[in-house]
Amino acid sequence: MSDAHFVTVDPIFQTFVDTATPPHQIAQGFTWTEGPVWLNDQLFFNDIPNKQMLRWSRADGLRTALANSEFANGNTLDTEGRMVSCEHGGRRVVRRRDPLDLDATEVIAARFQGKRLNSPNDVVVRSDGCVWFTDPPYGINSDIEGYPAESEIGGCYVFCAEPDGTLHAVATDFDKPNGLAFSPDESRLYVADSGAIKGASFPGIDYDLPHHIRVFDIQGTTLCNPRVFAVIAPGVPDGLRVDHGGYVWSSALDGIHCLSPEGALVGKIALPQQTSNICFGGASGQTMFMTSSDKVYSVESTRRDASHVLKARASEGSLS
């Protein structure tokens, strides 16, 4: 079943989102938005080409968070609620206790085996404090989302940074690794490959190249048993999130696709432009915020971020 704003493939989808209410446009007028994250009762997100980090709340509307974000892309929170950001310009992953204070910047990762990273794209933090991130070249292969440069590493890897700074290349066979997210029990990692989009200076989508999500089993700081979880079309998977029930919400050219834990499409939030990412937030933790080209939207849902499962178990004392 389909209307202008939602596509229902499995009836369960209609219990996930309020399909009677169209996606609400909360902000517009940007160039390319990414990196939504809910922190301190506000939505933070980036307008990458304009080097700005923005923040929005229903009470205060839209405000500038950082006037120079150094082409920041994906954002997430760590176990202490600090913002972790991928900076294309600085070619590094950073952390700030106060996201508005550049002087509070701590570098998590900038080099691998002495070579500069390409342009870290998206990031997640496991409950043990390890920071997992992707490193495609979108911030160095044009001057639109960063500073043009050659790749020093010569590949596009997925990395895991341990709390002591040790950096592991955990997957080295991606074309362009992009969004990533853990399963609710953190035993698996989903990683998007957006290789079909070559970058801001290369228009079009080459469907002969990867446009899928792979899932891995996690053993410590290594990944094993890779398999293709879902092929995304139209477009590519960019950012993604997993909800508390293990459903995967992936960005695509036509909005957000909701996939079952087995990888089957159960429904779509249809948006008119290429969509880059999604996060859960709001007072209930159940509002979905979506960055979509030059706009940002919200949809009310009954879902929460997968990390809610671990937080709930920890508060019950059952998580060591």
Contact residues: Mg ion, CB under 5 A: 121-122, 178, 238
* String of DSSP letters for 47-61: EGGGTEEEEEETTTE
Q: Which is nearer to Mg ion, 5 or 254 (CB)?
A: 254
100 exposed, middle or buried (CB, 10 Å; 0-12, 13-18, 19+)? middle
Q: Which is nearer to Mg ion, 46 or 183 (CB)?
A: 46
Q: Which is nearer to Mg ion, 8 or 76 (CB)?
A: 76
Least separation in angstroms between CB 136 and Mg ion: 8
Q: Which is nearer to Mg ion, 6 or 138 (CB)?
A: 138
Alpha-carbon separation of residue 13 from 1, 136, 148, 266, 285 (angstroms): 11, 32, 42, 6, 18
Q: Which is nearer to Mg ion, 8 or 274 (CB)?
A: 274
Q: Which is nearer to Mg ion, 47 or 122 (CB)?
A: 122
Least separation in angstroms between CB 215 and Mg ion: 17
Q: Which is nearer to Mg ion, 177 or 309 (CB)?
A: 177
128 exposed, middle or buried (CB, 10 Å; 0-12, 13-18, 19+)? exposed
Q: Which is nearer to Mg ion, 196 or 310 (CB)?
A: 196
Q: Buried (b) or exposed (e) across 115-126, using 16+ Cβ within 10 A?
A: ebbbbbbbbbbb
Least separation in angstroms between CB 192 and Mg ion: 8
Least separation in angstroms between CB 278 and Mg ion: 11
List all residues 6 or more positions away from 79 whose beta carbon is below 8 Å from its beta carbon: 125, 127, 129
Q: Which amino acid is at 269?
A: I
Least separation in angstroms between CB 134 and Mg ion: 8
State the pairing for strand pair 72-77/42-47: unpaired
Least separation in angstroms between CB 217 and Mg ion: 23
List all residues 6 or more positions away from 320 whose beta carbon is below 8 Å from its beta carbon: none
User: For residues 252 and 265, is the Cβ–Cβ distance under 8 A?
Assistant: no
The neighbouring-strand residues paired with 289 are: 279, 298
Least separation in angstroms between CB 20 and Mg ion: 30
Q: Which of 130, 124, 9, 139 is nearest to 76 (CA)?
A: 124
Least separation in angstroms between CB 181 and Mg ion: 12
* Cα–chain center distance at 257: 14
Structure tokens belonging to residue 129: 């404090």
